[in-house]
Amino acid sequence: MLKTERVNYILVRLQELYPRPPIPLSHRDPFTLLIAVLLSAQCTDERVNKVTPALFELADTPEKMAKKNVNTIRNIIKPCGLSPQKSKAIKHLSQILVATYGGIVPRDTMALESLPGVGHKTASVVMSQAFGVPTFPVDTHIHRLAQRWGLTSGKSVVQTERDLKRLFPEAYWNRLHLQIIYYGREYCTARGCDGRSCDICQTCYPNRRSAKKTRKA
């Protein structure tokens, strides 16, 4: 199967499986989404969704969060891991949002990436899911599947993102990002599929004889 054929098949199959993929992180607005995505680093969405209700009951705006003690924030978010760094980042970015942006999450990737604890992936998720701006955030699931499906050589997350943006029309990016994540969790898991088991892997590479090793970014 040629790469263009794989791309078209993947688009059709994922749309069949996940026609309206929901945003996995519970949130109310751009600020609560930003905090939830920050917390999801090296943590499952399920665990984040268990932690954020208590956190947002404590403070659900930059103004309120900026006034909270770092240790108070840390005690709530401990189950998410990396709580010392994340709690400091949450308080500091809240202070910056109040002082610099009038308490509003900026609709700008570079501005988001300048905030403490916010990297390119987090900024891209916020731009996509909060503001509807076409982006293609690459997480571990997307990085793994893009390699298994022959869409990138996957030497880095940056390269994987660039390759996927080149292959898929911009209008599909935001939805496709979520569709691949859900497929990677349900069918093409890290251990459950080695590049030969799930429907898309079998269809794209029916003659693959050995496991596809994933290059870690």
Q: Which residues are catalytic?
A: 121, 139
Query: 106 and 31 in contact (C-beta within 8 Å)?
Result: no
Phi first, then psi, for residue 197 (nearest 5°) are -105, -45
DSSP secondary structure letters along 59-81: --SHHHHHTS-HHHHHHHHGGGS
Compute and round to an integer the Cα radius of gyration of the chain. 18
Contacts of 113 (CB under 8 A, 6+ apart): 119, 120, 123
